[in-house]
């Protein structure tokens, strides 16, 4: 049974679930080998770095101006994501890959 009021600031504080529940996790770097055995089904939402940056700017990621968002993504997020793609091969290890770039 899921306990009420267990989520704060979108982070799980504590949860107890029965086996017939579906739990969706979203986050970067969840395809590390150390975590892969924890999931019954892994879905990779794939989009280019360009699309990710455009979306971050459009939603005002972290409340930063566009130029600062671009700098943060190019100096922090994209290099870290490239390491994850190279080391952990999320596209190859996912059960489902959902392409999410605009047509």
pLDDT for 97:
95
Q: % helix / strand / coil in the chain, to the nearest 5?
A: 45, 10, 45
- Write out the residue range of the structural domain in which residue 80 sits: 26-99
Residue 1 lies in a domain: no
pLDDT for 78:
96
Residue 12 lies in a domain: no
Can you give the pLDDT of all 103 residues of the chain as single tens digits?
344 444 444 455 556 666 667 778 888 889 999 988 888 899 999 999 999 999 999 998 778 999 999 999 999 999 999 999 999 999 999 999 999 999 8
Residue 16 lies in a domain: no
Residue 38 lies in a domain: yes
Residue 15 lies in a domain: no
The model's pTM: 0.72
Residue 10 lies in a domain: no
Residue 9 lies in a domain: no
Six-digit token pair at 26?
A: 């979203």
Total number of domains constituting the chain: 1
Are the C-beta atoms of 94 and 44 separated by less than 8 Å?
yes
Residue 6 lies in a domain: no
């Amino acid at each position: 049974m899921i306990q009420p009021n267990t989520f704060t600031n979108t982070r799980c504080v504590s949860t107890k679930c029965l086996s017939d529940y579906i739990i969706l996790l979203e986050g970067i770097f969840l395809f590390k080998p150390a975590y892969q055995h924890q999931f019954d089904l892994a879905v990779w939402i794939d989009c280019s770095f360009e699309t990710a940056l455009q979306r971050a700017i459009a939603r005002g990621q972290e409340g930063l101006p566009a130029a600062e968002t671009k700098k943060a993504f190019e100096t922090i997020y994209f290099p870290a994501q490239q390491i994850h793609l190279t080391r952990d091969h999320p596209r190859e290890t996912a059960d489902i890959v959902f392409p999410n770039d605009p047509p």
